Amino acid sequence: MPKPQKLFEPTIVRGAIASAFGKLDPRVQVHNPVMFVVGIGSVLVTLRFLVNLLGGGGPGGISFTGQIALWLWFTVLFANFAEAMAEGRGKAQADELRKTRRDTTAQRLRDDGSTETVPASQLRAGDQVLVDAGEVIPGDGEVVEGIASVDESAITGESAPVIRESGGDRSAVTGGTKVLSDWIRVRITADPGRSFLDKMIALVEGAERQKTPNEIALSILLSVLTIIFLIAVVTLQPFAVYSGREADVVVLIALLVCLIPTTIGALLSAIGIAGMDRMVQHNVLAMSGRAVEAAGDVNTLLLDKTGTITLGNREATELIPLPGVEVDELVDAAQLSSLSDETPEGRSIVVLAKERYGLRGRELLERRAQFVPFTAQTRMSGADVDGRQVRKGAADAVVAWVKERGGTVPPELDPIVEGIARGGGTPLVVADGARPLGVVHLKDIVKGGMRDRFEQLRNMGIRTVMITGDNPLTAAAIASESGVDDFLAQATPERKMELIRAEQSGGKLIAMTGDGTNDAPALAQADVGVAMNTGTVAAKEAGNMVDLDSNPTKLIEIVEIGKQLLITRGSLTTFSIANDVAKYFAIIPALFAATYPALDKLNVLRLETPRSAVLSAVIFNALIIVALIPLALRGVRFRPVSATALLRRNLLIYGLGGIVLPFVGIKLIDLFINLVRLV
């Protein structure tokens, strides 16, 4: 899996420089109206430079016109470079991915059950293939028969093998992963070139990049600004003529390039590509940029309790004996009933017995014990040892079992059981034959740091809803312990769907994670549906993102990346427009220095000469693009604070800063220009 790279990886930089020139093609440039205008300006100034050069001088002179032309070309190239850098970083990630897609062969099953060996590239959706231990799975698909351990490290970076089996929620396999043991029959679900890997490569390379809704809206605004400035500058020539002297066209073009929002125009597509990259670096595969953007808008997160809010399994935390029962007796029975119970709950009882009560594990086999597994009918498990029948299970089931055997249940049992349930725990009653001994307290363990995460989300205006199959009492207790805003107890796929629809009808955007086939409708309905890579094909196809790490908590990072994308665009737009103030004060007095020397009063920076003033502004305008490439690629730092605080902060940095910085920058460049006598 691609890992975060250095920002300016030398090989990527070299490639980006080359492709910056390649992107000068007008057919590429026309997609970015702002930079297209700069390109036309560069051509015009270059022509004027050539005319001046051949004619041995002319309006603007040779050196000045030449330098302006040079820096205008740099402006275009820097913009191309920014985009190429973002694409290059994506491409580097794609190459990493591509390495995993070795040219494999597949054993395709014929209708008669025999197999034929074909190149993986010839497989079509619907074909069935047989994959043996040691072979690479030739394409995305679904296990239809068999069970195998699979090494998915090529995709997820996770080295521990995972189990893939037919039926259920662990049936999906990804092309490029390797079967380690056993064999599986796989039904291919993607045509060549349409697999996850292919999609991922195309996305990170920017090949399938489509502008997202907010990007389109912003592009429109930038075009409007460009048109306004175009008119302001074009009409300046008649006004100059009116005032007595034609303005130098080279300076007019320089003014235009400085005014139109080149900073954001140059970095806009780089920001978008980099946002996609950040998703991939978090091992999230977004099916479209639109989905990434929607993540920033999410109002409600639906989080599955198990695995997201709590650790996957319940753990025994306490053993409570009934009156008249020694603790040791209860511990002994609880451990006996759990020794052969391989469920996590059972194991946790054994661990608790050992760590808290000092009772070591025993081998049941030595004692000719017989294990009684849990079934949905009995709702209890246990062991028959030396004539004893030890059981643990759901309170009502064990109570009924005890009464069946003529035992009596002390009245103290009920309050203990209820108390545990009210506290969000699960009570397991332990009995030895007809004699109830006590209660095991099983508890959901809330993951560390969740309360803080939810608090941050609340500050960002995002509500969290916990989804659980537990009863309302248990759900409420865990909800309050973990700090989520709301919960849906006794959740079924239908109720989940209802909840999503209800929230959406109020205009809210919903994000959720899911892995099972029964999650698919909800994943499709949600605005951001993140399918776990371990999930079923149906779930992956229904969602618009796939988390390769299958970590449901990642939803929170996904939201942050979405927001960061928008914030970066908005901030650089503000910065770009704010820059214009200083540029006006640099260029307007210079432009009319000959007509109205009195306008020099507006030259508040006291720039040396009109020519150095214009050149300084143009150089600043070009260099600021390069200076901001790291910001565009990394994104403006996101803080989980309220919108008002965020706006105040960003307005201060990019608005006010955008006004002040160019005054300083242009002055410094002007000092340098005059120091080395460039003009």
Spatial distance between the Cα atoms of 501 and 518, rounded to a whole number of angstroms = 16
* Of residues 214 and 616, the one with the C-beta less far from another protein: 214
* Of residues 295 and 520, the one with the C-beta less far from another protein: 295
DSSP letter (8 states) at residue 300: E
The tokens for 550 are 């299958």
Site string for another protein, 419-438 (x = CB under 8 A): --------------------
Tell me which of 126, 157, 168, 461 binds another protein, using CB under 8 A: 461
Q: H helices within 6-61, ranges in order? A: 10-22, 26-29, 33-54
* Of residues 113 and 242, the one with the C-beta less far from another protein: 242
* Of residues 186 and 298, the one with the C-beta less far from another protein: 298
Q: How many CB atoms lie within 10 A of CB 420?
A: 24
Task: Kindly report the backbone phi and psi dihedral angles of residue 614, in degrees, each rounded to the nearest multiple of 5, phi listed first.
Answer: -65, -45
Amino acid identity for residue 318 in this structure: E
Tell me which of 374, 458, 476, 517 binds another protein, using CB under 8 A: 458
Q: Is 480 in the site for another protein (CB under 8 A)?
A: no
Spatial distance between the Cα atoms of 613 and 591, rounded to a whole number of angstroms = 10
Spatial distance between the Cα atoms of 440 and 338, rounded to a whole number of angstroms = 11
The tokens for 548 are 């390769």
Tell me which of 460, 477, 500, 586 binds another protein, using CB under 8 A: 460
Q: How far is CA 374 from CA 345, 382, 389, in A?
A: 12, 8, 14
Tokens 């001088």 map to which residue?
Answer: 57
- Which candidate in 304, 432, 519, 547 is catalytic? 304
**Rg (alpha carbons) of the chain, rounded to whole number:** 34
Q: Contact, 139 vs 188, CB < 8 A?
A: yes
Q: Is 228 in the site for another protein (CB under 8 A)?
A: yes
* Of residues 438 and 640, the one with the C-beta less far from another protein: 640
Tell me which of 26, 167, 238, 344 binds another protein, using CB under 8 A: 238
Least Cβ distance, residue 251 to another protein (angstroms): 12
Amino acid identity for residue 24 in this structure: L
Q: Is 407 in the site for another protein (CB under 8 A)?
A: no
Tell me which of 48, 170, 563, 611 binds another protein, using CB under 8 A: 563
Site for another protein in 622-641 (CB under 8 A): 638
Least Cβ distance, residue 165 to another protein (angstroms): 42
CB under 8 A: which stretch of 15-23, 164-172, 324-332, 568-576 binds another protein?
568-576
The tokens for 158 are 């996770």
Q: H helices within 356-461, ranges in order? A: 395-404, 413-422, 450-459
Tell me which of 39, 289, 436, 562 binds another protein, using CB under 8 A: 562
Q: Is 574 in the site for another protein (CB under 8 A)?
A: yes
Spatial distance between the Cα atoms of 556 and 453, rounded to a whole number of angstroms = 8
CB under 8 A: which stretch of 32-40, 197-205, 460-468, 666-674 binds another protein?
460-468
Least Cβ distance, residue 597 to another protein (angstroms): 9
* Of residues 165 and 600, the one with the C-beta less far from another protein: 600
The bridge status of strand 284-286 relative to strand 545-547 is antiparallel
Say which residues have a Cβ less than 8 Å from residue 427's Cβ, sequence separation at least 6.
395, 416, 417, 420, 421, 439, 440, 441, 442
> At 16, is the secondary structure helix, strand, or coil?
helix
Least Cβ distance, residue 416 to another protein (angstroms): 42
CB under 8 A: which stretch of 232-240, 371-379, 477-485, 666-674 binds another protein?
232-240
Q: Is 296 in the site for another protein (CB under 8 A)?
A: yes
CB under 8 A: which stretch of 118-126, 316-324, 549-557, 561-569 binds another protein?
561-569
CB under 8 A: which stretch of 49-57, 69-77, 420-428, 503-511 binds another protein?
503-511
**What is the CA angle 480-481-484, rounded to 5?**
55
Tokens 């300046």 map to which residue?
Answer: 236
Q: How many CB atoms lie within 10 A of CB 602?
A: 15
Site for another protein in 242-281 (CB under 8 A): 242-243, 259
* Of residues 53 and 216, the one with the C-beta less far from another protein: 216
Q: Is 646 in the site for another protein (CB under 8 A)?
A: yes
Q: Which of 493, 452, 481, 169 is nearest to 302 (CA)?
A: 493
- Residue 396: active-site member: no
Q: How many CB atoms lie within 10 A of CB 327?
A: 13
> At 608, is the secondary structure helix, strand, or coil?
coil
Spatial distance between the Cα atoms of 475 and 480, rounded to a whole number of angstroms = 9
Site for another protein in 578-597 (CB under 8 A): 578, 580-581, 584, 588, 592, 596
Tell me which of 566, 590, 615, 618 binds another protein, using CB under 8 A: 566
Site for another protein in 601-620 (CB under 8 A): 601-602
* Of residues 109 and 659, the one with the C-beta less far from another protein: 659
The tokens for 672 are 């340098």
Tell me which of 233, 309, 399, 402 binds another protein, using CB under 8 A: 233
Q: Is 452 in the site for another protein (CB under 8 A)?
A: no
The tokens for 635 are 């994104």
Catalytic machinery residues: 304
